[in-house]
Amino acid sequence: MQVLVRKTEGSGDVQCGICGQGFRLYWERTANHEQVGMEMTIREALHRQHMEATDQSAHPVIPFNVPSWPGLPQFSAAALLGGLSSVRRVPALTRPSAN
């Protein structure tokens, strides 16, 4: 299961146990039992981000995936299936016509 995690101004769906920063979660799957099992992994990822800093700057400004994903976060399964409203679709490139 994949989760897209995005900083929020309010309390969000989950808070960092170190700095209190709130995060909104976008789930690839919506089954409650799967989400409960994933919450510890999310909290551990937030904790690991504090290796360099103890304040809210330890967390990425842009959304990130748990578990990590090599592509752009907004195109992850969690973002697309979880309803992230800021997903911007890139139009397909068109080939120049051969005349």
pLDDT at 97 over 70: no
pLDDT of residue 68: 76
Residue 96 has pLDDT above 70, yes or no: no
- Taking only the tens place, the pLDDT of each residue in 66-88 is 887 666 666 677 767 766 765 44
Question: Is 56 exposed, middle or buried (CB count within 10 Å of its CB: 0-12, 13-18, 19+)?
Answer: middle
- Domain borders along the chain are 3-82
Instruction: Kindly report the pTM of this predicted structure.
Output: 0.73
Mean pLDDT of 30-35: 81
